[in-house]
């Protein structure tokens, strides 16, 4: 469970009470007393973290979003597996995923994340979350890992421009 979220303006180190540096790895931070050492500033936020929401294949999908991501990527953007002959094999082995979860579209709108979008969706009434910049093509297994927060993309919206 996340109790607080810190926002740092620079890199930081975290030594414990014994001045031993706490390594950054996949293990959860154990309860205890820690120091945060940084040359930058630290701000605390009251904002609650968004939990990954699975977007199941139900309801209507935005076809223009799906097609734009497929056309741009033509491969799984994580492992690089190319799409071979979609005219023969179809798209069953590739999923179009939203980077920012579609389940949190209200949060996207309230936070004005559309300000980062430079390529609007084909139909602007679909909403900016359906910009090709918020999409990526994945294999089904990488899509499941991404949805479970096991793999997290660190690419920025600027890098996603087609």
Q: Residue 154 — pLDDT band, cuts 50, 70, 90?
A: very low
Indicate the length of the chain as a whole number.
162
Per-residue pLDDT for 35 more than 50? yes
Instruction: Work out the mean pLDDT of the chain and round it to a whole number.
Output: 82
Residue 118 tokens read as 């430079």
The residue that leads in pLDDT, 131 or 90, is 131
Please report the pLDDT score of residue 46 as a whole number: 73
Largest CA distance in the chain: 62
Residues 129 and 162: their CA atoms lie apart, in Å, by 16
Handedness of CA 130, 136, 142, 145 (dihedral sign): negative
Please report the pLDDT score of residue 2 as a whole number: 59
Q: Which of 60, 66, 57, 61 is nearest to 131 (CA)?
A: 66
Q: Is the pTM of this model over 0.85?
A: no
Q: Residue 21 — pLDDT band, cuts 50, 70, 90?
A: confident
Q: Which of 141, 139, 119 is nearest to 130 (CA)?
A: 119
């Amino acid at each position: 469970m996340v109790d607080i979220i810190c926002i740092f303006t620079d890199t930081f180190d975290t030594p414990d009470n014994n001045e031993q540096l706490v390594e950054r790895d996949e293990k959860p931070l154990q309860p205890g007393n820690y120091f945060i050492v940084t040359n930058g500033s630290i701000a605390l936020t009251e904002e609650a973290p968004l939990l990954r929401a699975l977007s199941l294949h139900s309801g209507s999908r935005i076809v223009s979003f799906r097609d734009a991501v497929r056309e741009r990527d033509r491969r799984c953007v994580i492992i690089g597996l190319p799409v071979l002959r979609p005219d023969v094999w179809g798209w069953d082995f590739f999923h179009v995923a939203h980077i920012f979860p579609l389940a949190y579209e209200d949060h996207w709108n309230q936070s004005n994340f559309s300000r980062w979008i430079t390529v609007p969706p084909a139909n602007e009434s679909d909403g900016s979350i359906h910009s090709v910049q918020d999409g990526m093509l994945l294999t089904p297994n990488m899509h499941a890992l991404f949805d479970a927060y096991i793999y997290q993309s660190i690419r920025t919206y600027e890098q996603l421009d087609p």
